[in-house]
Amino acid sequence: MLKLVVLSGAGVSAESGLNTFRDSNGLWENYRIEDVATPEAFLLNPELVLSFYNMRRQQVLKAEPNDAHKSLEIYNNAKTKSGRTLGIQIITQNVDDLHERAGSGSVLHLHGEILKARSTTHPHLIYDWKRDITLSDRCEQGSQLRPHIVWFNEEVPLMDEAIALVQKADILLIVGTSLAVYPAAGLVHYRQELCPVYLVDPNLSEVPGVHPLYLYKEEAGHGIIKALQHIIENY
């Protein structure tokens, strides 16, 4: 099997109508990130934070997978030029479920999942959650529920698991991410020596210290198909 690890970011879901994490004016859905995406913000104004993520949750529920999501499932288990089976593992910075709805079964959500809620004091208590979270919603132990999201200033619980996946990759495909948010952006440097990197992004031109690098300066939907075709035809 040829192990392809895909690191996907906001640019993948943008083509499904979901706003990217930070636009040109430094705001996210017209909110300051510091006001809605930190544990401090939740302590200061939990109603505002819950309202913001309730809005995002409804946006995700209305969105549909696009060609980038669908292509990863279509090419999974495809035969490459050498006769090996392409096995695709996705590590996503996105909190939506569009990869799963497109059919992908191996998805690690590095920054959490918007369609889940968890206890504020018992983090192992996690619930599937598609409706709004309110200040009256409690876990079975009586603690307030919050979005199952990794906020700024919080540890990334699945980082070690993501590193282990990258270390075992034969090929790394990075799509729709600015490689500016750490620690996720540092995953590329855990790959094996000479593990080829495919980068799909209309704005990025290089990744320092990465070679070999195949660059596709295109939006996710078109660029990811070209990258996958190149992998199938050359490995």
Q: Which residues form the catalytic set?
A: 111
DSSP string, the chain: -EEEEEEE-HHHHHTTTPPPSS-TTSEETTEEHHHHSSHHHHHH-HHHHHHHHHHHHHHHHH----HHHHHHHHHTT-B-TTS-BEEEEEEES--SSHHHHTT---EEETTEEEEEEEESS-TT-EEE--S---TT-B-TTSPBEEEEE--TTS--TTHHHHHHHHHT-SEEEEES--S-STTGGGGGGGSPTT--EEEE-SS----TT--SEEEE-S-HHHHHHHHHHHHHHH-
Tokens of 97: 């479920």
Distance CA 60, CA 41 (A): 22
CB contact at 8 A, 91 and 166: yes
